[in-house]
Amino acid sequence: MTSNGEGNPSTDSSSSGQEAYCTFRVSELLFGVAVRQVQEVLRSQRTTRVPLAPFSVHGLMNLRGQIVSAIDLRKQLGLDSLTKEQSDAMNVVIRTEDGPTSLMVDEIGDVIAVQSDRFETPPETLQGPPRELIRGAFKLENELLLILDTSCVIKFAA
């Protein structure tokens, strides 16, 4: 069961014109990934650095015997890394054509459902890497929910 942000629960997002998103924060930005793309959400995991890996690839992690690439969204968005005192990154593991990939984020949010017809193109005020990595946005009560284009995130990390 999810909430549409207005307190109304939704159990079937497809039949009611709603789409459910797993939300998370990177710095002050609120992002969402379609729930159907999310495999799992994990606390900070130990990663192994990969020599000569692209800048935003934090490393590899072992997910129950499966090796998974971990992409640092802070780096990909051109933001400073978190210090040790601030927090350990959380992981949103998404399903891709090439297998699971972990997106390292600052904080995990809620699963929310939004009306599909309220989807908008990326706002003009959003510039730089964040604009290149999103498909669009939903206006919530107090902020924008930026819908992450996971295929672009992976392509730019390669």
pLDDT for position 2? 40
Full residue range of the structural domain in which residue 143 is found = 2-157
pLDDT for position 8? 37
Q: How many domains is the chain partitioned into structurally?
A: 1
Indicate the pTM of the whole model: 0.83
Q: pLDDT in tens for each of the 158 residues of the chain? A: 344 433 333 334 455 789 999 999 999 999 999 999 999 999 988 889 999 998 889 999 999 999 999 999 999 988 887 655 445 789 999 999 889 999 999 999 999 999 999 999 988 888 888 788 999 999 999 999 999 999 999 988 77
Max distance between CA atoms of the chain, in angstroms, equals 48
Give CA–CA dist 60/73, Å, rounded.
15
147-to-79, 87, 133 alpha-carbon distances in Å: 18, 24, 9
Q: What's the CATH number where 149 sits?
A: 2.40.50.180
Buried b (16+ CB within 10 A) or exposed e, 14-23: eeeebbbbbb
Give CA–CA dist 146/129, Å, rounded.
13
pLDDT for position 113? 96
